[in-house]
Amino acid sequence: MKKNNIEGWLFVSPLVIWISLIILVPIYIAFELSLFNVKIIGTSGKFVGIDNYIKLFSKSKFLNASLNSFYWIIGNAICQTFFAFTIALTINYKFPGKKIMANWIILSFIIPTVVVVVIWKLMLSSSSGIINSVLIDIGLLDEATGFFSSPNKAFISLVLINSWRWSPFLALIILSGLNSINREMYDASKVDGANFVQQFLFITFPNLKSVLFVLGLVGTLLSFNIFDIIWLITKGGPSSATTTLPLLIYETAFTKFRISQAATLSIVTSFLLLLFSIIFIKSMAPKEDD
């Protein structure tokens, strides 16, 4: 089809303008704020130049939150890849009830995050949670444990809860990739004597490239952005073990009332994410064939 420059832009522009306005204007405001020392919203501060940036990089809190965010992304990527592939490969088989399962597996994604929090707070409760009593019954635990009481346990529990919410959604996207793979390739490989694992490594995986590209990019950014699950369960604790960058920004702005510092954090974080996205797209984008 020939290119329709003007009309093309005309159709795209309402959305592009909406998104740009809501992203670029706030980023400009944040950048301006980051050069002042405004504390409480509505008050004015004095110009401090790049002081906020210098202070930020010398703060252990920033370093700690960045590391937590890094572990958070890696942990979620590993868990979600495991769960999502298990679900997708399972649903890809034929079995009775397959349709119902494929439709409703996504339940954990369509309910409000607050409900996710309620479910797991109840299931993991130290006094009356079912997980604790099951673990005690089968002999894995001697007494009830607090899943959010120690830094490591809290972090791992949160990663698992967040993966529980997102994996089914990712599984359906992986399934879309699986459906687009030509069945004959599997039959042909069987004739050549390929086994289950070889089929996965040499047919399934390479053919999922364009799906995995989008998942890798969007998935990383989405896990980075997770705020509510962490905030509503641990508030970043115990002892800042679950304070990722989004929580640090929130805390700085709305509980410590240091608006300029929060703005500085937002700018630095946006820059890091943008850098990641550009590198990821440049190096991993699958070649288009149209």
Partner 1 sequence: MIKENNFKLIFLSLSLLLIILIFFFPFFWIITSSFKSPEEIIATSTTIIPRSFTLEHYNKILFNSDFFIYLKNSLIVSFSSMIISIILSVSAAYGLHKLKFYGNKFVEYSLLVTYAFPGVILLVPIYLLFAKVNLLNSYFALIVVNVLFATPFAVWMLKAFFKLIPNEIEEAAYIDGASRYIVISRIIVPLAAPGIASVAIFCFIISWTEYLFASILISGDDLKTLPVGLAGIVGQYQIDWGFLLSGAVLASLPVILLFVFIGKYFVSGLTEGAVK
Residues 25-64 interacting with partner 1 (rule: CB under 8 A): 25-27, 29-30, 33, 41-42
Q: Around Cβ 193, how many Cβ atoms within 10 Å? A: 7
Hey, how many other C-beta atoms are within 10 angstroms of the C-beta on 226? 22
- Number of shown-chain residues binding partner 1 (CB under 8 A): 106
The nearer residue to partner 1, 188 or 285, going by C-beta atoms, is 285
User: Does residue 149 contact residue 97 with C-beta atoms inside 8 Å?
Assistant: no
214 binding partner 1? (CB under 8 A)? yes
Cis previous bond, 238, omega within 30? yes
Q: Which residue in 48, 106, 185, 203 binds partner 1 (CB under 8 A)? A: 106
Region near partner 1 per CB under 8 A, out of 53-61, 73-81, 148-156, 218-226 = 218-226
Q: What mask of x and - would describe binding to partner 1 in positions 135 to 154, judged by CB under 8 A?
A: ---------x----------
**Contacts with partner 1 in 65-94 (CB under 8 A)?**
83, 86-87, 89-90, 93
Q: How many CB atoms lie within 10 A of CB 115?
A: 12
Name which position in 206, 228, 255, 284 contacts partner 1 (CB under 8 A). 228
Judged by beta carbon, residue 83 or residue 155, the one nearer partner 1 is: 83
* Touching partner 1, residues 247-286 (CB under 8 A): 247, 249-250, 253-254, 259, 262-263, 266, 269-270, 273-274, 277, 281, 285
Question: To which residue do tokens 């210098």 refer?
Answer: 54
- What distance lies between CA 94 and its chain's CA centroid? 30
Tell me the angle at which helices 209-225 and 60-91 cross, rounded to the nearest 10 degrees: 140
Backbone φ and ψ for 178, nearest 5 degrees, come out as -60, -40
Instruction: Give the nearest distance from C-beta 84 to partner 1 in angstroms.
Output: 11
φ, ψ of residue 234 in degrees (nearest 5)? -115, -10
Radius of gyration of the chain (CA): 23
Q: Which stretch binds partner 1 (CB under 8 A): 49-57, 65-73, 116-124, 147-155?
A: 116-124
- Interface with partner 1 (CB under 8 A), residue from 48, 77, 119, 203: 119
Nearest Cα neighbor of 231 from 223, 220, 243, 221 is 243
Of 46-54, 71-79, 151-159, 208-216, which segment contacts partner 1 by CB under 8 A? Answer: 208-216
For the bound state, the minimum distance from the C-beta of residue 290 to partner 1, rounded and expressed in Å, comes to: 9
Minimum Å gap between C-beta 3 and partner 1 is: 5
How is residue 282 written in tokens?
């440049």
- Measured CA distances, 235 to 81, 93, 110 (Å): 26, 41, 23
| Residue whose CB is less far from partner 1, 50 or 101 | 101
86: tokens are 């298990």
Least distance between partner 1 and beta carbon 85 (Å): 10
